[in-house]
Amino acid sequence: MRGCTRLLGCALLGFSLGAVAKTSSQTAPDALVRTSHLPPASTGLIDDTNAAPRAPHRTLTVLHRPAARATSHLRVHRVYAAVAPRGSIATQEGLHTVDTGPLALQSSVALVMDESNSNVLFEKHSDVALPIASITKLMTSLVVLDAHQNMEEMVEVTDDDLDTEKGTHSRLAIGTVLSRRDLMHIALMSSENRAAHALCRNYPGGLPACLAAMNAKAAQLGMTSTYFNDPTGLSKENVASASDLAKLLQAASENPTIREFSTDTGYTVPVGRHMVAYHNTNSLVSNPGWDIVVQKTGYIVEAGKCLVMKAKIEGKTVLIVLLDSVGKYTRFGDANRIKKWVESKPGLFDASHITGSEPAVGVEPIHVTS
């Protein structure tokens, strides 16, 4: 029996040697630590897919060997060590502060604007250029529509549309063939990355010409803090200020196709032999209390949760931009807080409410240079 026990102990020890490391001074010197489970660190998967990424962690197996007696067995304990996720650029710049004003917004950046006269009703860090994630797809769709390509033309999803930036998953299998219209529909409504990339790749002149058109369009709209490096928003180099995004939101809302696709609640497309159902990433579009004209969500780690909307509130059209919200539902909560605030201020839209010499309600803008 004693021999069997000794053999079992040796087998366990031998199994652990390949992945074992002596612990630091925080652990007894006669203990051994083996990493038995290590999920990949967060890669910034966008929340416009089915599930947000879970916080990364390591599971450590600690093998204790009593020092006072000969080793005949090992006592096994498991220790869970959390790995701190990376923060957004806004958080790194110190912009993530909870608003203590009447709205109590939790987004790092916010802008509320009266569309009729461009009066700023509320703003918070609205001039800071930050990553904008999948809000990018509004510009991608805008330039594709400006090119007047045949929306019924069939476009194939290829290996060129794979996400090499973040490694995100897509339900559009390689080899899927959809019309340009269907690709744009799910790109705007469900933030489908391969769809957006395929649209830009099949732009006249290819991907480089599409990106050039996106940056040229931004300049044309007066988006002076904006730059596009890819058509999906997966790149952290896609940046814009909230003030710039209000201009993009306004331009996108003038196109009926973007209005229709971005606010649709659901759509089904054929992928191989199956029909795949997509849903809107913005739950507010199906809320009867909201009248949304155009919208887009976005998320990568560097951008945080983002939301832009043009909506009608109290008979007035309002532009709302929210960047770097923390938590799955915070941006939608902030949007609801803005709506209630606007509804509670009947004189908010009076031309005399905000003058050129009077600061906007909220926090003074912070200018960050890189």
Instruction: Evaluate if residue 357 carries a pLDDT over 50.
Output: no
- CA angle (165, 171, 331) in 5-degree steps: 70
Instruction: Evaluate if residue 24 carries a pLDDT over 60.
Output: no
Predicted confidence band at 312 (pLDDT cuts at 50, 70, 90)? Answer: very high
> Mean pLDDT across the stretch 169-181?
97
Say which residue, 82 or 369, is predicted with more confidence. 82
Say which residue, 228 or 348, is predicted with more confidence. 228
For every residue of 229-267, DSSP letters joined together read SSSSS-STT-EE-HHHHHHHHHHHHT-HHHHHHHH-SEE
Residues 6+ apart with CB under 8 A from 332: 282, 283, 284, 307
> Mean pLDDT across the stretch 270-275?
95
Question: Quick one: which H or E segment has residue 27?
Answer: none
133 and 47 in contact (C-beta within 8 Å)?
no
Instruction: Evaluate if residue 201 carries a pLDDT over 50.
Output: yes
> Mean pLDDT across the stretch 283-304?
97
Lowest mean pLDDT among 32-36, 248-252, 260-264: 32-36
d(CA 80, CA 61): 9
Give pLDDT, residue 100. Answer: 66
Query: Where are the chain's structural domains?
Result: 2-82, 89-343
**Tokens matching residue 304:** 């945080």
Burial string for 314-330 (b: 16+ CB within 10 Å, else e) reads: eeebbbbbbbbbbeeeb
d(CA 132, CA 1): 65
pLDDT digits (tens, 9 = 90+) for 95-139: 887 666 778 899 999 999 999 999 999 999 999 999 999 999 999
Task: Calculate the average pLDDT of the chain.
Answer: 80
pLDDT digits (tens, 9 = 90+) for 325-341: 988 899 999 999 999 99
Give pLDDT, residue 247. Answer: 98
User: What's the CATH number for 89-343?
Assistant: 3.40.710.10
pTM to 2 decimal places:
0.75
pLDDT digits (tens, 9 = 90+) for 149-169: 999 999 999 999 999 989 999
Question: What is the phi/psi pair of residue 30, to 5°?
Answer: -95, 15
Give pLDDT, residue 309. Answer: 98
User: How far is the CA of 137 from the CAs of 142, 186, 196, 217, 364, in angstroms?
Assistant: 8, 11, 7, 13, 29
Residues 6+ apart with CB under 8 A from 283: 332
Residue whose tokens read 């966008």: 46
User: How far is the CA of 19 from the CAs of 13, 14, 15, 120, 202, in angstroms?
Assistant: 11, 10, 8, 58, 47
Catalytic residues: 134, 137, 191
Lowest mean pLDDT among 28-32, 87-91, 154-158: 28-32
223 and 216 in contact (C-beta within 8 Å)?
no
Give pLDDT, residue 99. Answer: 67
Give pLDDT, residue 44. Answer: 38
138 and 254 in contact (C-beta within 8 Å)?
no
d(CA 159, CA 157): 7
